Amino acid sequence: MLNRFFLLVAFCLQLPAAFCQSVDRYTIIPKPTQLDPRAGEFIISQATTIMAPIGQGDLKAVVDTFVHHINRSTGLTIAVKNTNKVALTGNLIEFSPLSDSTLGAEGYRIDVTDKVVTIEANTPNGFFYATQTLYQLLPPTVLAHRFIVPATNLTTLAIPACHITDIPRYGYRGMHLDVSRHFFPVSYIKKYLDVMALHKFNTFHWHLTDDQGWRIEIKKYPKLTQVGSKRRETIVGHYDDYDPQVFDGKPYGGFYTQDDVREVIRYAATKHINVVPEIELPGHALAALAAYPELACSPGPYQVATKWGVFNDVFCPTEKTFSFLQDVLTEIIDLFPSKYIHIGGDECPKTVWRQSTFCQQLIKREKLKNESSLQSYFIKRIDKFVTSKGRRIIGWDEILEGGLSPNATVMSWRGIKGGVQAARQRHDVIMTPGTFCYLDHYQGDPAQEPTAFGGSLPLDKVYSYNPTPVELNATEATHILGVQANIWTEYIDTHDQLEYMLWPRAAALAEVGWTSLSLKNYDDFTRRLSTHFERLNALNVNYARTLYDAAFTSQPTTDGKIQVSLSASKQVPIIRYTTDGGIPSGESAQYTQPIVLEKSTTIRTASFLNSKPLSQLGKIRKEYLISKATGKSYTLLNPPSSGRPDKNYSLTDGVVGGMGGYEVAGVVAFANDINAVIDLGQPQSVETVRIGFLKYTARNICLPKQVDISVSDDGKTFRPALSAKTNAAEGGKRGFVRLPFSFEPTTARYVRIIARNVGRVPAGLRNPGKAAQLMVDEIEIR
């Protein structure tokens, strides 16, 4: 690889300067197996001839789609012909089938000169992926759905000369979509498939049923959609945003008819995407139980879930339940041609089964060890039925519990352990661990990002993933079929938000699944993303620009100011900022050295390439508080909790805490009272103390019941300044509450603050009687 790089550099030195920018001519995602650049380019014009062989309908369909797209976006009227190549003088694009075992079923070759583009592959799949690469070799505007004069200059519709040989690393490259929590119509599913195809994903995992909605028509059981597709309302905000929880009071529903499903499957086939349906069992079944409560272990009634989480009510393993599920799966199998049927198997609480006389008798009769073995019994019966229909099941890695069904493929989501275990048992595995593949997690600072489930999964971490665990030997590793991006939609209710969460992280995972491990390079990937974002713009696809967000680091100075440093990725040449609350523009101050703050302010940043904004303008902000306490040392007479300790006097560092999802940053936690003595360094006048407490009562974090403030000249003898009752029982929306405490001006060097913990969560809140905590992010003294 190194020799090839030096050859390319040497070659580049002999070429015109424009060609020496070769890295900017080939911005393909996922990166091809081999790309050899050349000088020159092929110009597509009205004179271009596109040739495809007669009698290969599947290939002709690929070519026709490619030509239709080019014509639609450029205004050209090129036709596909079966032309004798020998009679042509040039400007030819030729699709040429071959039989080459080295390319496999999805590989292809593209050879581009100034006169001829030759595309070779063994199968229509290979040709289809070749056309996705051709789109990415052309200007991004060719992906637009219509021609806008004069947006495309036909004289520059050029394919840079090169030779490409490309073969995917894995045969399974999937994207998942949960339509149960929030429903997305067929029109949008098609758009979802379009963007998948551009990135060479080949499997769409359609999560159709869950506690919050049953989304697919089953003819034999009409109440599944009449009842199970509708919930009476939906929780507002994040699961723990409010105490008590708040609901919107609006009925929510939606489902796909069987004709809708057929339409999606037909459309996906044109994109060479297999559709894998998921019918959840034995857990995540509330929507089905609301429709048919006789399938539960107790009579109910049940309702479609209106909030998120895992529920104890699951399918009961009776013969009635198995007959129901077999009927449902029969209709699913009749609809979906997929080799695989996903049956869920995850997050199935055993509480009801433990309490059920029937289940306990079944465990004894079948000589099962426990309720986990009962789940295995359940899955094995479903596996046997699906296998009898000529299909195979996929299940989440919980199906390993109690013994793995003989024909099951495991989708490993709780880390890689389940995947390793299954592969060692010679079972096929699809890797989708939450730490790398769950795109409903935050990709930037949670305090700056739209509401997400929780956790942190930045772009570089997604890209770093290697789906084949290093602990597997060569034989075991063959059972790793591939990788999948998962997107759960509890907190995603619009198309724009869905796309924001997916892209560009799904593009990174596309490269994980397609590109050889030795060829991956994150800096190179992010360089290619700049052009790729223009393609997404042409497709009207939203995406996150977190890659370009500035990062903040700060430290107090000895004279009570705050020095703030900004940094960003290698792809960001210019950071601009404001300190007056305004949105940065191309005229705002350019960051060149640390910013020194003398008063409380909010810094807002934006990244630029020349005058072009790269990041979302005004999105990134950080609040800093400066007071007489800033940068001052203190003594904590009660130690903080080990889980959220004090770091470098973080209560007086001037940095405001942040929160998003389940994540809280910049706080210090106390299981008992807060008892802090702040040394101001010298005697001075003080009259106000303001403390930033976190109120997060759904997590047992309460405001204090009382705050006592005293002052001292020597740090030993303190005189009272104020004692104030506070409302520890305050619930409502979580957030930072900055409580001010004012008293008669007095001169002192030391200020002692005692915030008294209420001890137990007060009545009226979500968890009354639980041990309460105090959390603080910043103390100001004025």
Residue 665: name the closest of 650, 686, 675, 676 by CA. 650
**Tokens, residue 685:** 């006048």
Dihedral sign from CA coordinates of 111, 117, 122, 128 = positive
347 labelled catalytic: yes
b or e along 380-415 (b: 16 or more beta carbons within 10 Å of the residue's beta carbon)? Answer: bbbbebbeeeebbbbbbbbbbbbbbbeebbbbbbbe
Amino acid at 580: D
Contact 308, 212 (CB under 8 A): yes
What's the CA angle centered on 133, arms 131 and 134, to 5 degrees?
60
Rounded to whole angstroms, the Cα distance separating 173 from 511 reads 10
Residue 315: name the closest of 340, 285, 335, 336 by CA. 285
Dihedral sign from CA coordinates of 623, 626, 630, 635 = negative
**Tokens, residue 665:** 């940053």
Residue 296: name the closest of 311, 317, 276 by CA. 317
Contact 733, 242 (CB under 8 A): yes
DSSP 543-609: ---GGG--EEEEEE-TTS-EEEEEE--TT--EEEEESSSPPP-TTSEEP-S-EEESS-EEEEEEEEE
User: Catalytic: which of 347, 663, 687, 730?
Assistant: 347
Contact 213, 288 (CB under 8 A): no
Rounded to whole angstroms, the Cα distance separating 168 from 106 reads 7
CB atoms within 10 A of CB 479: 19
Rounded to whole angstroms, the Cα distance separating 295 from 123 reads 46
Residue 422: name the closest of 437, 440, 405 by CA. 405
Q: State in Å, rounded, how far the first CA of the chain is from the last one.
A: 63
Residue 428: name the closest of 397, 403, 402 by CA. 397
What's the CA angle centered on 282, arms 254 and 241, to 5 degrees?
60
- CA-only gyration radius of the chain, Å: 30
Contact 305, 288 (CB under 8 A): no
Contacts of residue 596, defined as CB under 8 A and 6 or more positions apart, other chains included, come to 557, 561, 562, 563, 564
Collapsing DSSP states into helix, strand and coil, what is residue 84? coil
Contacts of residue 537, defined as CB under 8 A and 6 or more positions apart, other chains included, come to 140
Pairing assessment for the beta strands 409-412 and 392-396 based on DSSP bridges: parallel
Contacts of residue 278, defined as CB under 8 A and 6 or more positions apart, other chains included, come to 205, 206, 207, 208, 209, 342, 343, 344
Three-state SS annotation for 523-562: HHHHHHHHHHHHHHHHCCCCCCCHHHCCEEEEEECCCCCE
Three-state SS annotation for 108-123: EEEEECCCEEEEEECC
In sequence order, the β-bridge partners of residue 486 are 438
Rounded to whole angstroms, the Cα distance separating 379 from 348 reads 12
In sequence order, the β-bridge partners of residue 108 are 166
Contact 692, 650 (CB under 8 A): no
Contact 622, 631 (CB under 8 A): no
Amino acid at 359: C
Question: Annotated active-site positions, please?
Answer: 347
